[in-house]
Structures are given as C-alpha cells and as structure tokens.
Amino acid sequence: MSLIAAGSRISAVIPVGVRVSDVPTLFAEYQQGLEACGLPFELIYVMDGPNTTVLQGLKALQSAGAPLLIVQLTRSFGEATAVMAGTERASGDIIVTLPAYFQIVGSEIPKLVHALADCDVAIGYRQPRAGGAFETLRRSAFHGLLGSVTGAHFHDLGCGARALKRRVLEEISLYGDQHRFLAVLAEHHGFPVREVPVTQSPRDRFEGAYRPREYTRGFLDIFTVFFLVRFTKKPLRFFGMMGASTFAIGALLLAWIILERIIYAQPLADRPLLLLSSLLVVLGLQLFALGLLGELIIFTHAQSIKGYQVAEVIEFPSAEAKTREGGPAELLRYADTSTR
C-alpha cells in the first residue's frame, strides 16, 4: 500500500446523539489531535435530532472562527445515518469518525490517520479498557458471537473513533445501527481493516444501564450482519439450507406416519403429528422458493452489483518504454514478437 498522499485532507465527522460531553472542551481536544496529523482538516457535526444546548454551543464555536460545519437532521435517524450524512458533505479524502463524548484521548487521532498508510480502515481499540467483570463479559460475549457467525474477529467495535479512506463509505451504505459493524462490512467488501490500540479517555464512563430491549436489538443486528456478510449474493444457500432441513424433518415424520398406517393400521385421524409434519413440508418448500426468488432478483441486477475491490493495477510496460529504461534484449524481443 502507498503512503498517505501529501495533498490529503481530513474530514472529521462527529454524530451528535443522546450522549454528549462538554462541547467546547471536547472540540478543543479533537482540534489539537487533528492538527497533530499535519494535514488540513475540517470538523462536521451532524445533529441526529434536535438538541438546542449542543447546537447553541456549536454555533458559538463557529462564530469564534472554529473550522466546523453543522448539519441538522430533521429528526433522529440513528448514528449510522448521521455518519453517512456527514460524509456526503465532507470534502476530505480521509474520513475520521469521532464520538460526541469523551471516549479516546484526542492525541491518539494521528495514530488512526497514519495507520491508513497500509490499510483502508483503521478502528480504535481502547486499551486498557475500563469497566468491571460484567462489562468485560458482555463485550467478550458480543465479539465472540459476532466472530463465530461472521468470521470477523475484532475486539472493540463499540469504539466510535475510526479513520478510513473516503472510497470505503462510497462503496458501503450504512443505516440504522450498522455503524458499529463498519469494520465487518468493510472487510467483507475486500477493504483491508486494521485495529489500532488507542488510549481510552479517563472520562469515558457510561453511567447508565443497558435495557433488555437494547440486548435484543444487538442480537438482531448481529443476525442482520451475518446475513449481509454471508448470504447477500447467495440467498438460496441460506433459505435453501433452512428449507431443505425443514422439508426433510417434515418428510421423515410424514413417512413414519404413513408406515404406521400401512404396517400397524394406526389411524390418521386425531394425530397432531400429521398436521405438524405437513406444515413442515409446506414451510420447507416455501423457504426454498423464497431463496430461489432471491437468486432470480440478484441475477437480474448482477450487472449493476460490483462484488470486488481493485487494490492496484500493474500494466505490462511497452517495448518502447523498456528501450528507454535500457531493459534486457530478451524481454524486448518477447514484447516485439507478442504484438505481431
């Protein structure tokens, strides 16, 4: 991978949601960290829903000459949508996402930016992590489950500090709560992803509590990413596998009932197993048909779907260029004869 170009520009996108820290202090810390990168930069605050206090603080900074842009969304759409909205208005070829609250030390931002010299996405990995035994267990369970179903093994997807090349977000569309799975989706698209150890802010303290609804959403999000990563372009494998299994179980039960009727003269009336086996057979056929329909849709749009990323194109030098460079005569003769 080539080093970061000297003319690169950084656009820091900061989605502002429910959790917000002291605006002027955090802005000053981020500004110092971005200045240390040695590249021109801009800060884009995306207001994900109304927040009068934060908006007034940002306008005061803007009036004082701070290099920031404020994007106000009509309502709360989620952090992932806020990141995409900020990226659409960013002018830099390097996008840095930062949380609107204290999470990492601002001086660690250059680590993420300079890591892009040998990757396309650099995500923060807070070390050492704060929190008790339950918090550690919860994080390990989340990342372990995600790694087992997607094959992507990361340690701190909850960190909102990331640096990535702009083309990554041009290829990946985030929505809902998919911002935390950005590294997984980028790796699936073929972009090199790297975890960068960063120092956690001593003021990074979540004093609330996660409700059962949030755990349920997290599990459903993992299932969504699992399907997007594994079966987006091959739905028949997913639905076909489920349909075939369901159909096989129903067919075996139905065959057993028929054998009992033929051999042992068992009556078919008033047997719930007959109804269950019939439903499993029908459900299996429906699942298989659903997967086949998905395959037909993908086949129809296959020409507009790009499922790969090009890292580099190395052209074969012409004979004329080799002559100027003083290349070997054997190579020149090969190049000349190959064009006849």
Report pLDDT digits (tens) over 147-174: 888 888 899 998 999 999 999 998 888 8
Please state which of the ranges 8-17, 53-62, 244-253, 289-298 shows the lowest mean pLDDT.
Answer: 289-298
* Mean pLDDT score, 221-246: 82
Encode pLDDT of 49-107 as tens digits.
888 899 999 999 999 988 899 999 999 888 889 999 999 999 999 999 999 999 999 99
Contact between 43 and 58 under an 8 Å Cβ cutoff? The reply is no
pLDDT exceeds cutoff 70 at 2: no
What tokens were used for 87?
């990226």
CATH architecture of 10-230: Alpha-Beta Complex (3.90)
Residue 312 pLDDT:
65
Tokens 């372990």 belong to 144
Amino acid letter, residue 71? V
The β-bridge relationship of strands 94-97 and 193-199 is unpaired
DSSP-assigned letter for residue 4: P
Whether 218 has a pLDDT exceeding 50, the answer reads yes
pLDDT at 320 over 60: no
- Residue 264: how many other CB atoms lie within 10 Å: 7
Confidence tier at 310 by pLDDT (50, 70, 90): low
Is 239 within 8 Å of 294 (Cβ atoms)? yes
Residue 54: per-residue pLDDT:
92
Residue 253 has pLDDT above 50, yes or no: yes
The three-class DSSP label of residue 236 is helix
**C-beta separation of 195 from 126 below 8 A:** no
Residue 334: what pLDDT? Answer: 43
Distance CA 75, CA 314 (A): 47
Mean pLDDT of the chain: 83
Tokens, residue 173: 């569309």
Which long-range contacts (C-beta less than 8 Å, at least 24 apart) are formed by 268-277? 276/250, 277/250, 277/251, 277/253
What is the residue extent of each domain of the chain?
10-230, 235-304, 311-340
